Structure 1
Amino acid sequence: MTKAKDPAGLSLRLVAAKRLQAVLKGEHFAPLQAGDLADGRDRALANRLITTALRRHGQINAMLGELLEKGMPPRSGTFEAVLRLSLAQLVFLPDIGAHSALFLAVEAIKRDSKARHLSGLMNAVLRRAQGNSARFALLDDTLLLPETTRQKWESAYGTEAVGRFTDALIDGAPLDLTLREVDPDVIEALGATQLAGPSVRLETRDRPVDALPFFEDGRWWVQDVASAIPARLIKAQAGGSVLDLCAAPGGKTAQLCQSGYSVTALDSDATRLERLKANMERLGFSPLVLEGDAAKFAAPEPFDGIVLDAPCSATGTFRRHPEVLWQRSAADIAGRVQLQRSLFANAVRLLSPGGSLVYCVCSLEPEEGEAVAEWALAALSGIEADPIAPGELPGLEMTINARGEVRALPSMAPGGVAGGMDGFFVARFRRTS
């Protein structure tokens, strides 16, 4: 007897559910690649479903609270992931079609031995959701952020700014590149808009990054405009020795090499270092690449400059990684602060007198940014603040606060261009003795 063929669209739904389930369990989200789904259109749709479910996670939580009277069934395999994907489609992606959301959801969990007994519940919940889809589509945007996070950010940055954070969350992040040289021909070929300095932005793209013009020529690298700020702020003589701590995947390393410094790139992750090496080879740069623990690293000679891009909660990257909003706890952030202090203390030990230290985190949490800078000045001897002047960051002056630190926000328009930027904190220090 011939086995019945699976319905069209079921395969991508199963792959999408598996990836979303992993993220719901705490894994980092990475878009599906050709190895996951060979067909490009299927892959694009699956990624759209996943990212919509992640961006709308808080609003979908509210729907689930209403639709599941007894809560999420325990030990139910992919049931939650499939349900979230289907709610995202029904409510926020009406162009895909409601019928496929219901039919494929039921078919998907029938393929899961841990969830197939819930096919009736899935069908009933989604039919109820379909009847309320217009109302669900109008759920308040404040639900998009965890309540404690929203309150903390409103206190730090203001209600209006955080309102634009939620717009940025839904819109996602455009693709920013850093050019080796600001060349109008390259910018035109990329279809890009210049933001500030060598940073340009592609609002849309119809091909993979490695298929964009001048990729093989090494004329640019991928780097959010906010992430491109720290390396620009190092003060060292041309040819001076500069250490990039926690360097992978290498955007800041490339900037430092481009500036003519003698660069050492250190990271503890061997896999990420291989990616850094590949990036440097494509770009034609030759930093000294070392694997090691940044908190314990020692060098025979001190460095003239150090960029410390410390491991952090990464909440500033929520436009690309919306899952970080729901995966970070106060205890998690507190643990990262202790690591940041340890790395900072070692960076000061590695810095020569008069040397320049730039500390940065891709975090919107004041504990990991402003508070660490304040701690360093109070707890570590031999350093002083070296305020950043507006003239150092033309087009990005709005990111500089009254203390001469950078506090980039997703609500800001770099160079006056819409699309936001990652949340970033940057402070600069000088070794006095």
Structure 2
Amino acid sequence: MAGWRSRLAAAELVWGAAAKGVDLETAMSASKAFRDLEGADRGFARAMASAALRAMGRIDWALGGMVDRPLAEIEPPVLALLRVGAAQVWVLKVADHAAVAATVEAALHWEGARRGGGLINAVLRRATREATAFEAAPVEAVWPDWLAAKLKAALGPEQARTLARLQLEDPSVDLSVRNPAEALEWAEKLEGVLLPNGSIRLSASAGLANLPGYAEGAWWVQDVAASLAAPLLGNVSGLAVADLCAAPGGKAMQLAARGARLSAVEISGQRMERLRENAARTGLAMELVQADARTWRPHELVDAVLIDAPCSALGVIRRHPEGIWRRDPKDLARFPATQRALVDAAADMLKPGGRLIYAVCTPAPEEGRDVVEAAIRSGAWRRLPVTAEEAPGFAHALTAEGDLLTAPAPEQGPAETEAPQTRSDVFFIARLERT
């Protein structure tokens, strides 16, 4: 199939995600050009779109010096093709001639971009000559300025830059195993890497449902950082445990697999369906409760509570980089009130001495550390510090207070080396005890 078709499809995806405000999966479903592709062409189109979206801030920074007007004044389809072309040249290292010629030809077949063919040709040819323009862009330019400043403040400049570099790569796929004793066996069957905490890291994400063990529920997809929270409750066999905000169910399945008498609470009907499907596939026993966890209460006090609270999700932006350019920093202010209300609800449902795991997939202190400190100041809670032995492979993530903040280790470069688990989503996790 002609190479221009995959470039056109990739540009439609970038346009849909960046200009029309939809996520990449939705853009793929909506793009006829993408749906018409098959096999390797479809895979290449997705790879180009993903690379363009992951590096969009740096690409735009470099392109800005190659055009005679602000990028915002360029027709969106033309800008989408420029981004896709630049991603081929600077990120994917596609042969210069193929990248330029096929992208220019794609413009001729796209009504909204036809008049921009000359601009695309001139700019992409310059991009092939000035590869250093992209490298000169600050690595943190992959984010809007407000987000870069926020992540630097939360993580420190070095860890923030490492996180920015990781955004240029497709995120890894990690699995949690239903029976931890079988983790090594499943790692070998799936040709994955066994991580220190027992998670399995796969080299590719395609066709997960066709892999051994999926249908029978022997494992489920769960980032290694997310998998650290539930085991911090210790031995939960036979204990009454409430998992608040439980969907899609990774932590709930960990708890159920460890023998907890589990109530899995989820407010969203759509997300509850995902949890129900996962519970059915694994065959793990749990009570599914669709309710607002801030007002729901169990029939009797429970032994432990896990909260994976709604949050700004700044720790998982590498999985959906297209969304960060649509975020309004003012929206982030709405989360702490909900998070504190959930902790207060947990205090109502726990026995004295019962344990709470509080987790959020963001490094923002106002959603993690500050929520925990406020809970401790209330007198209802005391902190139970996490030890390195309880989080194998994550000694780098222990904070001075004894919480976990799973930011990437600063010394990690762009290629996986000796400690792949340090390349994870960013979670804040704290353990508290009811006084």
User: What TM-score bracket applies, with the shorter chain setting the length?
Assistant: 0.7 to 0.9
Q: Compare 252-261 and 140-149 and name the one that shifted more.
A: 140-149
What does residue 366 of structure 1 align with? Answer: 365
What does residue 22 of structure 1 align with? Answer: 16
CA distance in structure 1 between the partners assigned to 2:58 and 2:142 by the alignment: 6
CA contact (8 A) 2:193 2:201 kept: yes
CA distance in structure 1 between the partners assigned to 2:85 and 2:337 by the alignment: 40
Q: Compare 27-36 and 101-110 and name the one that shifted more.
A: 27-36
Q: Compare 179-188 and 423-432 and name the one that shifted more.
A: 179-188
CA distance in structure 2 between the partners assigned to 1:301 and 1:205 by the alignment: 44
What does residue 96 of structure 2 align with? Answer: 98
What does residue 418 of structure 1 align with? Answer: 420
Name the aligned partner's letter for residue 343 of structure 1: L
What does residue 301 of structure 1 align with? Answer: 300
CA distance in structure 1 between the partners assigned to 2:390 and 2:114 by the alignment: 60
Report the CA distance shift for 1:415/1:424 in structure 2 as closer, same or farther (over 3 A): farther
Aligned length: 423
Q: The residue matched to 1:80 in structure 2 has which SS?
A: helix
1:112 CA displacement? 4.3
Q: Compare 54-63 and 290-299 and name the one that shifted more.
A: 290-299
What does residue 204 of structure 2 align with? Answer: 205
1:266-324 CA distances to partner (integer Å, 9 max, x unpaired)? 22222222222222222121211222223333333333221111111212123323335
CA contact (8 A) 1:400 1:406 kept: yes
1:355-393 CA distances to partner (integer Å, 9 max, x unpaired)? 211110111222221122122223x45222222233322
CA distance in structure 1 between the partners assigned to 2:192 and 2:420 by the alignment: 13
CA contact (8 A) 1:106 1:123 kept: yes
Name the aligned partner's letter for residue 22 of structure 2: E
1:11 aligns with 2:5: yes
1:82-135 CA distances to partner (integer Å, 9 max, x unpaired)? 22111111222233x333433443444444444433333333333333332354
Listed as ranges, the matches of 1:178-197 within 5 Å are 178-181=176-179, 182-183=181-182, 184-197=184-197
Q: The residue matched to 2:65 in structure 1 has which SS?
A: helix
CA distance in structure 1 between the partners assigned to 2:190 and 2:115 by the alignment: 51
Q: Compare 234-243 and 107-116 and name the one that shifted more.
A: 107-116
1:312-365 CA distances to partner (integer Å, 9 max, x unpaired)? 121212332333554444312212223222332223223333221111011122
1:396 aligns with 2:394: yes
Report the CA distance shift for 1:112/1:77 in structure 2 as closer, same or farther (over 3 A): farther
CA contact (8 A) 1:395 1:415 kept: no
1:168-195 CA distances to partner (integer Å, 9 max, x unpaired)? 2223322211112232332211122221
What does residue 265 of structure 2 align with? Answer: 266
Listed as ranges, the matches of 1:218-237 within 5 Å are 218-235=217-234, 237=236
Report the CA distance shift for 1:216/1:68 in structure 2 as closer, same or farther (over 3 A): same
CA distance in structure 2 between the partners assigned to 1:74 and 1:152 by the alignment: 28
CA distance in structure 2 between the partners assigned to 1:415 and 1:86 by the alignment: 30
CA contact (8 A) 1:91 1:136 kept: yes
What does residue 48 of structure 1 align with? Answer: 47
CA contact (8 A) 2:307 2:358 kept: yes
CA contact (8 A) 1:75 1:114 kept: no
CA contact (8 A) 1:360 1:425 kept: yes
1:250 aligns with 2:249: yes
Stretches of structure 2 that go unaligned for 5 or more consecutive residues are none
Q: Compare 77-86 and 325-334 and name the one that shifted more.
A: 325-334
Name the aligned partner's letter for residue 9 of structure 2: V
Report the CA distance shift for 1:77/1:55 in structure 2 as closer, same or farther (over 3 A): closer
CA contact (8 A) 2:404 2:430 kept: yes
Q: The residue matched to 2:171 in structure 1 has which SS?
A: coil
1:150 CA displacement? 3.5
CA distance in structure 2 between the partners assigned to 1:224 and 1:11 by the alignment: 34
Q: The residue matched to 2:351 in structure 1 has which SS?
A: strand
CA-based RMSD of the aligned residues comes to: 2.9
Q: Compare 255-264 and 292-301 and name the one that shifted more.
A: 292-301
Report the CA distance shift for 1:205/1:385 in structure 2 as closer, same or farther (over 3 A): same
Q: The residue matched to 1:339 in structure 2 has which SS?
A: helix
CA distance in structure 2 between the partners assigned to 1:364 and 1:195 by the alignment: 23
CA contact (8 A) 1:361 1:424 kept: yes
Name the aligned partner's letter for residue 127 of structure 2: A
CA distance in structure 1 between the partners assigned to 2:105 and 2:232 by the alignment: 55
CA contact (8 A) 1:364 1:423 kept: yes
Q: The residue matched to 1:69 in structure 2 has which SS?
A: coil
Listed as ranges, the matches of 1:145-160 within 5 Å are 145-160=143-158
CA distance in structure 1 between the partners assigned to 2:195 and 2:90 by the alignment: 35
Listed as ranges, the matches of 1:371-386 within 5 Å are 371-378=370-377, 380-386=378-384
CA distance in structure 1 between the partners assigned to 2:35 and 2:349 by the alignment: 44
What does residue 430 of structure 1 align with? Answer: 433
CA distance in structure 2 between the partners assigned to 1:195 and 1:371 by the alignment: 30
Q: Compare 230-239 and 39-48 and name the one that shifted more.
A: 230-239
Name the aligned partner's letter for residue 340 of structure 2: R
Q: The residue matched to 1:171 in structure 2 has which SS?
A: coil
What does residue 4 of structure 1 align with? Answer: none
Q: The residue matched to 1:355 in structure 2 has which SS?
A: strand
1:206 CA displacement? 7.8
CA distance in structure 2 between the partners assigned to 1:90 and 1:349 by the alignment: 57
Give the alignment's TM-score, normalised by structure 2: 0.87
Give the alignment's TM-score, normalised by structure 1: 0.87
CA contact (8 A) 1:54 1:322 kept: yes
CA contact (8 A) 2:381 2:434 kept: yes
